[in-house]
Structure 1
Amino acid sequence: MQRPRLKIGVLIDQFQIPSWAWEMLSLILKKELAEIDFILINQSPKSSGTKSSFLYRVFSKLDRTIFKVNQNAFVRKDIRKIPSLKAEIIPIKPVQKIYSDWFEKGDLEKIKARNPDILIRLGFRILKGEILKIPTLGVWSYHHGDNLVNKGGPPCFWEVLKGWETTGSVLQILSEKLDDGKVIYRSWSRTDPLSVHRNANKVYWKSLYFIPRNIERINQVGIDQWKLELEMWEADSMNDITLKPPGNLEMIGLGLSHITKTFKRKVNESLNKEVWQIWLGSNANNIFSDLKSLKKIPNPKGSYLADPFLVEEGDEKYLFAEQFDYSKRKGVISFAQISDGKISEFRTAIEETFHLSYPFLFQEGEEWFMLIESSASKSLRLYKAKEFPKKWKLYKTWFEGYEMYDPTIVKKDGLFWLFVNVKPHPGASSFDELSLFYSEDLLTGDWISHPLNPIISDVRSSRPAGNLFFENGTWYRPAQDSAKHYGHQIRIQEIIKWDKDNFSEKTFKIISANWNRGLIGTHTINLSKNWIVVDSFQR
């Protein structure tokens, strides 16, 4: 028997709500995840704190003016114009204390009569009292920040001004304690080093999916199982530091420091060109024993090499890579032959009018295939070798309309598994979320989405960084850690549980670009029977 759909109420301060919240509610209705039964509209909205300082407001306005975004998460849209919304509007005049809102008995009775499963807080101030106990599954609220690090706000501000590597975002069931409710979703993004506005924009766009994902999971497994799964989100300890908008004097210090760091960063980027390179070495001993013994492969003139992959076909050994042409401002897929540890000249294998990278190679039967990152075409493109390794033809296009990054395939338990980063929204980041798909037939493209997707929502360990490998009965997944900057380091993730219903992993080893002076990053590593190859980044 099909479960009745969950019943939702929404708390707002005004009918004009931010675009990210508008899209979140729209998605719930579009996918028919739940019924939005009523909307509580605050009749006397009030700020949750004192007025922000003058210089903080000036800084915020300048930031929004200078650092534009293509899709602004904070442009307001009328909640009443959400397609298929048939919610009853219930006006509420809360009892307002210093920083909190309480509900009167009559209003509480109205809400109880609706029997809500969830209340989604998109307005009002700190909620106190019986309202927190009325919905079956609680009052759900966002905290756009990492409550393991700090509480309060402003959202996504301190991370930029203090130079923190990551910006967290949390969905929680509210309790009486500030930003200390039961966490039901966590995610981490790389902090934008220049702009609070850009930093917040991408975080808010990503977070719109947190509530629909939880509702969808409840619909899949039921409330009891969902509650058991929530234990993974419980934090060991919360931080009691509560931040607030800076005063004028503090803003002067923060602003000057931020301008200085930004100036130095821009000078460094303008004077020192981005350069990637590939390093090759023997895989005779332990696979990560001594990266300092690797030898640098010279970049072809006018270009750099990155995303290296190895193929050993009989006695022939080949190295495939992205070759980025500075003049064309795009990457092509090139290859070279390895002979006695020496590399031949790189030759183009595949070129399109758009950027190509991450040439993931695999063999099926007697045929060679290459799955390439082609996010610029909003698809994954599968090529088949006409004449390996030099001639390839487009064989199939998967996931049309989606921006997907660093696709990596492995065969396990009679199934083909595809690990790939998926950009959830045009305004969100491509670095944060890893999805997993599986199929019985590799070449049909009939990929089934894992029920826990995205299986990782953390910039520190999401994007694939090369082939998975199996050692001593355990699977390991190389992952990019781009928290500090793009291509900072690689994490080797040990997979703990992995099947059609489950996935979990932990960090086994971190590989930093410390094997040669001047390197500041690495983001792809691959192994073959005899060789190990890794890329590096420097300016």
Structure 2
Amino acid sequence: MTLSPLPGDPWSIGLYAGPDPLHLAPIPGLLNPILTREQVTDAPAAFVADPFLLPHRDEWHMFFEVLHHGRGVGEIGWASSRDMRAWRYGGIVLSEPFHLSYPHVFAYRGDIYMTPETLGAGAIRLYRADPFPNRWTPVAELVQGELADPTPFRFEERWWMFACPAPSRHDMLALFHADALEGPWTEHPASPLIQADKSRARPGGRVVLSGGRPIRFAQDCGARYGGGVRAFEITELTVDRFAERERGENSILGASGSGWNAKGMHHVDAWRMADGRWIAVVDGIGP
């Protein structure tokens, strides 16, 4: 997230579930939101948003943006849970002079990495946990420029990364690829994949595999910023070709009309459980 709503119009974090990552809904008996700005104890939080999950040592860990009301920029907060329902806030784990949000966290070859949005740093930065979860060390600059919501993923023995090179307009989508995580990264010849379409360009969460194909989530900012989330199945992905098709006719997540997500939703991080169900952290904006 780049633009901050007013402190009285906050984003918060909820938990959804479903049979697959395209059909997610509130969990019966669970009261959303599961995490709000009121639970942040070490910073004046205007809101919490952009949640990402990671299972580690029999616990679930969640990283998310905390918009620091005094500084006017985002910082990265952390919370943990054993059952994904009750979350214990653990504090701000990453703060920089520039804006941080969208803390895309993932494990690779024994290490844990994060590629948060780093607007103001001049590049997409790769951080490594040292140690996990409260200390993060920058280890590489992956792509130069001001790009929002970087979303790397591993597919068919190669690294790929979506990002939005128009953070204030939300209407462009770029694609990069690399042999190794730390690079060098090359922009795809078809990039920008999307131009002048804020209804499907900006990344809206982790890329997941469903039926063997990657699913890309996109923010639907067509009517307003943070209006909903759409899903696209990537049908072709090589170093010189890209194709995708939308899954579903409408946003898979959106404004409920009441409560914590009355006005919109713009992020999802979905995980497949051992029993085949999918669990996801999402965010929403309410009154």
Q: Do both share a fold (TM > 0.5)?
A: yes
Superposed CA deviations along residues 199-242 of structure 1, whole A, max 9, x for unmatched, are xxxxxxxxxxxxxxxxxxxxxxxxxxxxxxxxxxxxxxxxxxxx
Q: C-alpha distance in 2, partners of 1:300/1:459?
A: 28
Which one of the candidate residues 364, 386, 397 is aligned to 2:108? 364
Q: Secondary structure at the residue paired with 1:335? A: strand
Superposed CA deviations along residues 363-412 of structure 1, whole A, max 9, x for unmatched, are 22111111111112221111111011111111122333x11010001111
Quickly say closer, same or farther: Cα 1:312–1:459, change in 2 above 3 A. same
What is the match of residue 297 of structure 1?
Answer: 34
What is the match of residue 228 of structure 2?
Answer: 489
1:379 maps onto 2:123 in alignment: yes
What is the match of residue 210 of structure 2?
Answer: 471
Which one of the candidate residues 508, 517, 528 is aligned to 2:258? 517
What is the match of residue 60 of structure 1?
Answer: none
What is the match of residue 328 of structure 1?
Answer: 71
Deviation at 1:276, TM superposition (A): 0.4
Unaligned segments of structure 1, at least 5 residues: 1-268
Deviation at 1:436, TM superposition (A): 0.7
Q: TM-score, normalization: structure 2?
A: 0.85
Which one of the candidate residues 459, 463, 466 is aligned to 2:198? 459
What is the match of residue 535 of structure 1?
Answer: 283
1:447 maps onto 2:182 in alignment: no
Superposed CA deviations along residues 493-513 of structure 1, whole A, max 9, x for unmatched, are 122222111112222131233
What is the match of residue 10 of structure 2?
Answer: 275
Q: C-alpha distance in 2, partners of 1:330/1:369?
A: 22
Deviation at 1:538, TM superposition (A): 2.7
Deviation at 1:290, TM superposition (A): 4.8
Quickly say closer, same or farther: Cα 1:313–1:489, change in 2 above 3 A. same
Identity of aligned residues (%): 29
What is the match of residue 344 of structure 1?
Answer: 88
Unaligned segments of structure 2, at least 5 residues: 39-43, 274-278
Deviation at 1:467, TM superposition (A): 0.9
Quickly say closer, same or farther: Cα 1:420–1:474, change in 2 above 3 A. same
Q: C-alpha distance in 2, partners of 1:514/1:479?
A: 15
Write 1 or 2 for the structure with the bigger share of strand.
Answer: 2
Quickly say closer, same or farther: Cα 1:483–1:386, change in 2 above 3 A. same
What is the match of residue 504 of structure 1?
Answer: 243
RMSD: 2.1
Q: C-alpha distance in 2, partners of 1:442/1:405?
A: 18
Contact 1:436 1:449 survives alignment (8 Å): yes
Q: TM-score, normalization: structure 1?
A: 0.46
What is the match of residue 393 of structure 1?
Answer: 137
Write 1 or 2 for the structure with the bigger share of helix.
Answer: 1
Quickly say closer, same or farther: Cα 1:282–1:432, change in 2 above 3 A. closer
Q: Secondary structure at the residue paired with 2:272? A: coil
2:226 maps to amino acid: G
Q: Secondary structure at the residue paired with 1:387? A: coil
